[in-house]
Structure 1
Amino acid sequence: MAPFEEQSLRDIAERLRREDPGLARALQEHHPVHPRRRHRRWPAWALLVLAVAALALGMVLPHGLLVATGLVLVGIAANLFDPLPPKPRPRPR
């Protein structure tokens, strides 16, 4: 293998270790975790069902607080569907 190819593979491996140390460790031990197990989505689906129920109930019974609660819960559920956690912000010096 050419030296530049080896260097690019090392760079990729180092970036994987920094971004997802759990996956890097699992690959090193030859026991990778299935992606569906790493990012469980049942809490997001349950919250989405609850949010839609609150939103529908708030529209059937004209109650503004239920509508607002449903909208807020839909936003939270949508955030839970995001598979990647937010990256930490660099500290100002």
Structure 2
Amino acid sequence: MHAPDEDRTLDDLAERLQRDDPRFAAAFAQGLPCRPREYRRGVAWLTLAVGLGLLGMGIVFGHGLLLAGGLVVSGAAGHLFDPNREHIRRGTPPPS
């Protein structure tokens, strides 16, 4: 049998999972596989492809604005690959 403290801890964990990633929590409740948010990186890959495309066009055409734009967009895409980027939205220090 579970102690009341253990049940409360499990309920708190379930609430936090629902709040942090509702899609994953719903899939988990239904028994369907769903990757957690920190492993969904489709937008990051798309942003990186656009940034590298701009960078390549800037090199081919010798256009400084395309080069700079490609570097900026590629840098932003690199930031999107960070699995612990949630702390930035909340304004808290990163987890150690």
Is 1:30 paired with 2:31? yes
C-alpha displacement at 1:12, in angstroms? 0.8
Q: Give the root-mean-square deviation of aligned CA atoms.
A: 3.2
Give TM-score, length-normalised by structure 1: 0.60
Which ranges in structure 2 are unaligned for 5 or more consecutive residues?
92-96
Specify whether residues 54 and 28 from structure 1 end up closer, same or farther in structure 2 by C-alpha distance, changes over 3 A only.
closer
1:68 corresponding residue in structure 2: 68
1:14-53 maps to which residues of 2 (within 5 A)?
A: 14-35=15-36, 39-41=40-42, 43-53=43-53
What's the % identity of the aligned pairs? 44
Specify whether residues 53 and 30 from structure 1 end up closer, same or farther in structure 2 by C-alpha distance, changes over 3 A only.
closer
Name whichever structure is richer in helix by fraction: 2
Aligned residue pair count:
87
Give TM-score, length-normalised by structure 2: 0.59
Q: Which runs of 4+ in 1 moved over 3 A?
A: 52-63, 82-89
